[in-house]
Structure 1
Amino acid sequence: MKPRVSVIVPVYNEGEAILRCLERILREMLLPAEVLIVHDMPEDTTVAYVEQVARTDPRVRAVLNTYGRGPANAIRFGIDAAAAPVVVVTMADGCDDPRQIDELARLVDRGVVVAAASRYMPGGQQVGGPRIKRMMSRWAGRSLYTLARVGTRDATNSFKAYDTDFVRRVGIESRTGFEIGLELTAKATRLRLPVAEIPTIWLDRPLGESHFDLGRFLPGYLRWYLFAYGRRLSPAQLAGRAGPAAVPARPRDSTEFEKTA
């Protein structure tokens, strides 16, 4: 059966800890799905454990990212390799609630191009995490929601579902960190395409060490934060502004995206 949702999980030496992540995802998802565990190098300690699960569950496969190292490239590669019309990006560290994957995917089925799991809307919560990171993320989310009208109070959260065709048409320019969620939310906003959110409870990583580097990733976040403020763009204008970097590596359809409002 063709999957209705592709779950993209970027990893870096998660080792045996990936088993708990996969067990929760596979237990909670009800929609026909594939789970792509995207790694940067064949020797990544995650791979052997993923292959162990894949032998008994065909939904799961390890995918070697060839676009360059880092989470942004891993997510780009995973989305390009996805077989489903909806992709959901989630982390391997247990911070995201896998019970919400189906709910986010169904929002995209209903017509939004970005569906965000929001820590900052009523009913949402963030538990733990570095204080400065929490403060900056909350401020960015509130200001973007109020002033740029991006459709979610948590534009910086990586736990989002996307219309796969939308992502491939607008392209992903990020190459460094986890700012892809903000980039695609900002692009949807400038194209005046629908963005929606559901409340989520985010829990700080229970095991292992976070790979988030605020100093390294901050310029990318700032770039897309500022980009969200601006006049409406057409798909052609967006493509012209971005240049070749925004063109997907393996486009599957060359027709112009027609969901503009």
Structure 2
Amino acid sequence: MSSAPRVSIIIPAYNEGDDIVPGLDRIMEAVKLDAEVLVVVDAPDDTTVPVVESYAAEHPRVRIVINSYGRGPAQAIRFGIDTASARTVVVTMADGCDDPRQIDDLVRLVERGVVVAAASRYMPGGQQVGGPRFKNFLSRTAGVSLNIFTNAGTRDATNSFKAYDAAFVKEVGIDSRDGFEIGLELTAKARRLRRPVAEIPTIWLDRQFGQSNFKLSLWIPKYLRWYRFAFGPPLTVEQLRSRTSGAQTSLPSTARD
């Protein structure tokens, strides 16, 4: 590309193999904006690599990226955002559960001035179909209650499917190192800085193939930390960084094994 794309789409992947292809096909069909698609894996021997390399031969917007920050989805997302060339980044999952038809609208919300644009399962018009009932209950309860009590700007703060102003992400930093809690972390940070957050409805469908890498029992404490952080008075960027930077502890490297 001779100039930066309008959006960088970040897809953390872990041994998806051929299962990643339907989701990539839907992205290619749905996204009309100039975009690059970065599929981020932890190692060159990940089964996703040859599949995406073959796919990229016909779809030059797509490329594989090897994460050098460390194992796990949070590190993969961090690396993808740091590698992205667009001013707006969208994080979406490799399992095909997210609806890519929302990507263009999420990008336009960021371009209008919000720092976090969330695809929301829990607002009117949104829906979650399938998935573990207890996990769904926790996610909905956390998102809706956070919005009621803190005016977070979205009823689905835990959803990873979000668009971000890349400059905002670089300004506040990402402290998560393990799971998929980055969406909640950046929403909580935006709330404490009183930066604008917005949402649009989406329909999430549980994956129909492959196996989820979500480790509920291991990652709940990480979500609780950022849920609690969203409550509190406004902070400056300097105050926020001093309270959050370096405070994360890492999970064992077996978290995704």
SS in structure 2 at match of 1:115: strand
Same amino acid, percent of matched pairs: 67
| 1:200 paired residue number | 202
Are 2:202 and 1:214 aligned? no
Match of 2:81 in 1: 79
Corresponding residue number in structure 1 for 2:251: none
Contact kept? 2:181, 2:223, Cα under 8 Å: yes
Q: CA deviation at 1:20?
A: 1.2
Partner SS state of residue 9, structure 2: strand
Where do 5+ consecutive residues of structure 2 fail to align? 249-257
Distance 1:100 1:116 in 2: 10
**Distance across 1 between alignment mates of 2:59 and 2:206:** 28
- What pairs with 1:112-127 in structure 2 (closer than 5 Å)? 112-127=114-129
Select between 18-27 and 127-136 the one with higher mean Cα deviation: 18-27
CA displacement, residues 83-130 of structure 1 (integer Å, 9 cap, x when unaligned) = 000000000111100111111011000000000000000011000110
Structure 1 gap ranges (5+): 247-261
2:54 to 41, 44, 52: 52
| Structure-2 separation of matches of 1:193 and 1:146 | 17
**Root mean square deviation, CA, Å:** 1.1
1:245 CA drift (Å): 6.8
What is the count of residue pairs matched by the alignment? 246
SS at match of 1:6: strand
Q: Which residue of 1 aligns with 2:252?
A: none
State whether residues 170 and 239 of structure 1, in contact with CA within 8 Å, keep that contact through their aligned partners in structure 2: yes
Q: Is the 8 A contact 1:171 1:245 kept in 2?
A: no
Structure-2-length-normalised TM-score: 0.94
Q: Which residue of 1 aligns with 2:233?
A: 231
Matches within 5 A, 1:9-88: 9-88=11-90
From 226, 242, 245, give the equivalent of 2:244: 242
| Mapped partners of 2:231, 2:245: distance in 1 | 20
Query: Are 1:4 and 1:86, in contact at CA under 8 Å, matched by a contact in 2?
Result: yes
Q: Is the counterpart of residue 183 in structure 1 residue 182 in structure 2?
A: no
Distance 2:21 2:123 in 1: 31
CA distance in 2, matches of 1:28, 1:135: 29
Equivalent in the alignment of 1:136: 138
Q: Residue 18 of structure 2 contacts residue 48 of structure 2 at CA under 8 Å; is this kept in 1?
A: yes
* Alpha carbons 2:175, 2:245 under 8 Å: kept: no
Match of 2:254 in 1: none
Contact 1:36–1:62 (Cα < 8 Å) also in 2: yes
In 1: Cα distance, 2:245 partner to 2:205 partner = 38
Q: Bigger CA drift: 205-214 or 180-189?
A: 205-214
Amino acid corresponding to residue 210 of structure 2 in structure 1:
G
* Residue aligning to 1:94: 96
> 1:111 corresponds to which residue?
113
Structure 2 counterpart of 1:160: 162
Which runs of 4 or more aligned residues in structure 1 lie more than 4 Å from their structure 2 counterparts after TM superposition?
Answer: none
